Structure 1
């Protein structure tokens, strides 16, 4: 799933964060809504 798709899913679900498999990196990412209304993206390194 792309970051854009994850953002849409997160908004549709009404959640503050969304965990997804990033299509570009094939890794698990966490997209979250920041207090300023923008989005943040966490790309963990294992």
Structure 2
């Protein structure tokens, strides 16, 4: 798997009251959504360990 020459990647973070969006290259992540997913996974782990 070759990606060719590395390009400069600009990271930008946009925040407003509902979202925190991080974008770099062609990817965008909403931090709030990622946080919610992590909380759900933790909750599932706790249920399984009971």
**TM-score when scaled to structure 1?**
0.27
**TM-score when scaled to structure 2?**
0.26
Larger Rg: 2
Higher strand fraction: Structure 1 or Structure 2? 1
Higher helix fraction: Structure 1 or Structure 2? 2
Higher relative contact order (CA 8 A, sep 6+): 1
